Each structure stands twice: as structure tokens, then as C-alpha cells.
Amino acid sequence: MRRLLLAGLLGLVAVPAAAQKPDAVLDALRGRPASLLDLSLARLEGFVNQTGRPLGFVGWAGAQDGRIVVFAYAEEDPATEARCRTIVSELKRAAAVHPDTGEPYRPASAWAGLFSYPGLDQFRVDPGWDETVDAMFEIRATVGTTGDGKGVVCSSPLLGRDVSIRRE
């Protein structure tokens, strides 16, 4: 009986809890290519965070209901509408969109370029590709903690002047 117990314990010690095959993990991930949408969203997220970090906010991006949504968050107390509007304005400015007029400085925003690729015949898909992409962007900025009515949430299309504000 002791020999069985000893053999069982040695067997547990000899076998690692999980097989460690880092090359297999990396190969499995390499074998599943990300889509151009995934890559574009990652590029946009990097752009948003490069803009936001020095200004005290972080961000991420996702596709939702036919829109490309940029989420930005600043943890501040008290949360103010002015701070929320500033985040929206700074994101528009970084995207090369005039925050007051809501018009891009060039035919399309800087963000639209993050969704363009040389190997993709985007103009066959949509002759107004960049303009269509620009129309899909929405900014949602949150300042403070929501759920208690003290947080502020601002939403705005990238193009245009409208900014809706609500307390959550």
C-alpha cells in the first residue's frame, strides 16, 4: 500500500500541472489570422490611447450595431460635463476633425485611414469608402463612476457638432 501511495505521489510530482508548450500556443494563434477589422480596431485603440494618456483618459474601440465606437474613460471625482466635452473635442481634434464644426480638415478623418489597406479594393466595395467609414464613428466618453447618477456620459458622432450628455 505504501508503495502505491509513494508511486502515486512521485507520479504527481513528475507530471507538470499543465504542459508548457509556448511554441504550440504561438503557432495556434498564428494559424488564426486576425481580420482587417480586428487590426483596424487595434490601430484605432492605439491612436486613442496615444491621444488620451497625456490628457488623463484611456480608451478602446469596438464594432457595435454597424458603428465603430470609440470608448473613452476618465476616472475623476467630481465628474463634470465640461470634462466630458473636452475628451470628445480632443478625440475629434486628434482625428483631424474640427471639434466646433464637426468637419474633417481633409476629405476624411485621420481615423478613416486606419481602416484602409493597399491590398483591399475598397473603392469597389464602396466608392466613398473613407466618407462611409467616417460616418460610422461614434465617440462615447465617460467621466467618473456610473451607476450612482454622478458619472457623466457624452456621445457624439465623429463628424458633426452634436454631443448628447447624460448622468448615469
* 155: Cβ contacts below 8 Å, ≥ 6 apart: 138, 139, 140, 141, 163, 164
pTM over the 0.75 mark: yes
Average pLDDT over residues 8-33: 67
Average pLDDT over residues 66-83: 95
Question: Is pLDDT above 50 for 6?
Answer: no
Comparing 92 with 77, which gets the higher pLDDT? Answer: 92
CA distance readout (Å), 8 to 5, 17, 90, 163: 5, 14, 63, 66
Counting residues of the chain whose pLDDT is more than 70, the rounded percentage is 89
* 142: Cβ contacts below 8 Å, ≥ 6 apart: 71, 72, 73, 74, 84, 151, 152, 153, 154, 168
CA distance readout (Å), 112 to 27, 95, 148: 32, 9, 36
pLDDT-derived band at 8, boundaries 50, 70, 90: low
pLDDT digits (tens, 9 = 90+) for 102-148: 999 999 999 999 999 898 888 889 999 999 999 999 999 999 999 99
CA distance readout (Å), 168 to 5, 87, 94, 145, 153: 60, 17, 27, 8, 7
